[in-house]
Structure 1
Amino acid sequence: MLLFQNGKIQVRKLAEKDKPLLTKWLSDSAVLKFYEGRDYPFDIDKVNRNFYGDENHVFRCIVLFEGKEIGYIQFYLIEEELKATYGYSEGNIFGIDQFIGETGYWNQGIGTLLVKSMVNFLIEDRKADYVVMDPQAKNGRALRCYEKCGFHKVKWLPKHELHEGEYQDCWLMEYKK
């Protein structure tokens, strides 16, 4: 089921047929360097547990560019406890996480188009007041991409994410409608 299209980018709901794609992408050390960690490669069982569970509040999607599956994106409504942790008291706040799994599509502006398109979808379709992300502070390429998309660093999150055996500092980044 197609959620939206913006030019050459399409985002559709994750399907059963996507399990081999996720397994391929999430066993690639280049992808894992930035998403999940190289010490945490996925096999089909781990893909099933992590992407096909019953977390109904997470909307999992496949990203297509010119009709080819190239990546993954998910979005979710931020729940009250996490809102408080992040310092929000009100508003319709969505979080997003994404990666381009086909590394040949990196550094071409596709991630920027994807993030801008998802933000627009969430604001227009889901009536988001804010869209937030919490990338690792050391991921300069991602931080630059998100800033190009209109996100701003709003809160330092020390030792926020376990990645490759160590807790990493992250930035809470926000796009405000």
Structure 2
Amino acid sequence: MLSMMKTLYGTHAVLRPATTDDIPVLARIRATPEVYATWRGGEDLVAAVTDDLGDPDVTTLVIEYAGRTAGAIQWGAEQDPDYRHANIDIYLDPAVHGRGLGTDAVRTLARHLITDLGHHRVVIDPAADNTAAIRCYTKAGFRPVGIMRDYERGSDGTWHDGLLMDLLAGDLD
């Protein structure tokens, strides 16, 4: 969703609202084998990123690092007051992996969702075998909740487990 959301500043990451000008570079990042393996989005990744930016239920922010676009982080929310919470999804250019940028981006957005927008709980759901993502989210303060069996279909056509993780307002450091 193209929104009027403010720019957020982490220790290393800058999270700014995505614009249509970001579509080509985000599609290029999504096309890298490491990102495509978990994000996919069909054959036309320009259309997939365009759809992400046009989704009224999702806010997409560009992750900038050292003045360059390094990926995207998205969030959405369950608005039913009895179940209200936010969810996060992220992808990063493999060229910037291993620098703590993902942890910083996730922590920065989670803090905004809890502190500024009043969510008491934020969830994220990596593939159960994505140890790098799980390590990243754990460093950001998320805790495992449980395995969601046969949660998503992989690029090989078979179903794979997901790990539900959450961060509660009281868990913020």
What TM bracket, shorter-length normalisation? 0.7 to 0.9
Partner of 2:60: 60
User: 2:43, 2:98 → 1: CA distance?
Assistant: 23
Count matched residues: 164
Which of 13, 19, 25 is the matching residue for 1:15? 19
Which of 47, 50, 53 is the matching residue for 2:49? 47
Are 1:92 and 1:127, in contact at CA under 8 Å, matched by a contact in 2?
Answer: no
User: 1:63, 1:160 → 2: CA distance?
Assistant: 27
Partner of 1:162: 153
Partner of 2:164: 172
Partner of 2:125: 134
1:143 aligned counterpart, secondary structure: helix
> What one-letter code is carried by the residue in structure 1 that aligns with 2:74?
Q
The answer to whether 1:90 aligns with 2:82 is yes
- Higher alpha-carbon deviation: 1-10 or 24-33: 1-10
Of all paired residues, the percent bearing the same amino acid is: 26
Q: Structure 1 52/91 Cα, relative in aligned 2: closer, same or farther at 3 Å? A: closer
1:79, distance to aligned residue in structure 2 (A): 4.8
User: 1:52, 1:4 → 2: CA distance?
Assistant: 18
1:109-141 residue CA offsets vs partner (Å, 9 max, x unmatched)? 111111111111111111110000111101011
Are 1:154 and 1:173, in contact at CA under 8 Å, matched by a contact in 2?
Answer: yes
Which of 28, 35, 38 is the matching residue for 1:34? 38
Gaps of 5+ in 2: none
Are 1:161 and 1:170, in contact at CA under 8 Å, matched by a contact in 2?
Answer: yes
1:70 aligned counterpart, secondary structure: strand
Gaps of 5+ in 1: 81-88
The alignment yields a C-alpha RMSD, in angstroms, of 1.9
Q: Structure 1 157/31 Cα, relative in aligned 2: closer, same or farther at 3 Å? A: same
User: 2:121, 2:64 → 1: CA distance?
Assistant: 25
User: 1:22, 1:110 → 2: CA distance?
Assistant: 16
Q: Structure 1 43/123 Cα, relative in aligned 2: closer, same or farther at 3 Å? A: closer
